[in-house]
Homo-oligomer: A and B are copies of this chain.
C-alpha cells in the first residue's frame, strides 16, 4: 500500500540563479563554519570578527519514500577568497563505503577535489556541463575559482552519510589559491 511519501514529486530548478522550488531544506555555510578548513586562520578570525560572511548554500530535497532515500542537492558557492584561498565547500567522505555520488556543474568554474584516506588525490577541472562521478571512498570538495557563482546539482542517497572528520583534521593534500592572479595548487602544510 503506497503512503503519501511514495508519490512522485517535481521541483522547478532555475538555471540562472541555481535555486529551485519548492525547497525542503536550505543550509548556509559561512566562513565561521569553515574555520577549520581555510588555511589562513588570521584572515578567518578577521572575517568572523567583522560579522562573518556566506561562502555557500546547499538547497536540498530528500526524496525519501518508504523504500528508498535518493536525495537532490544544489550547492551555490559564492565567488571570493579567504586570504589567498578560493571559496570552497567543507568537503566530506561518505560514511558508507559503497555509496557514490553524481555532481553536475551547471554554472561557474572551478575544481572538484577528490582524495582517498590513503592520500590518493585528484582534481577535476569544472566548467558548465561537467558531470563527475565520485566513487565510494573518495572524500570530495568543490572549489570556486571563477568570478561568478559556481552552481552544481548533486544526486546521492541519504544513507551514504557525511563524515567531515578526516577533512577537518588534515584537509586535502593541496590548497587551491590565487598566486599572481592565477589559480595555483600548493601543498597543504598539514599533510
- Do B8 and A138 touch across chains, with their CB atoms under 8 A apart? yes
A128 / chain B contacts, CB cutoff of 8 Å: 15
In the complex, identify which listed stretch (A93-101, A164-172, A174-182) lies at the interface while the others stay far away: A93-101
A8 touches B135 (CB 8 A): yes
Contact assessment for B8 and A129 in the assembled complex, using a CB-CB cutoff below 8 Å: no
Is there contact, CB below 8 Å, between A8 and B68? no
In the complex, the chain B residue whose C-beta lies closest to that of A123 is: B8
Q: Is the CB of A14 within 8 A of B129?
A: yes
> CB distance B67 to A102 under 8 Å?
no
The residue that A68 contacts in the complex, of B67, B127, B136, with Cβ under 8 A, is B136
> B20, B102, B124, B138: which contacts A63 (Cβ < 8 A)?
B102
**Quick check: A134 and B12 within 8 Å, CB to CB?**
no
The answer to whether A133 and B72 touch across the interface, beta carbons within 8 angstroms, is yes
Given contacts A8-B122, A13-B104, contact A67 B97 (CB under 8 A): yes
Separation of A131 and B23 alpha carbons in the complex (Å) = 12
Which positions in A face B, CB cutoff 8 Å?
Answer: 2, 5-15, 20, 61, 63, 65, 67-68, 70, 72, 97-102, 104, 112, 114, 116, 120, 122, 124, 126-138, 153, 155
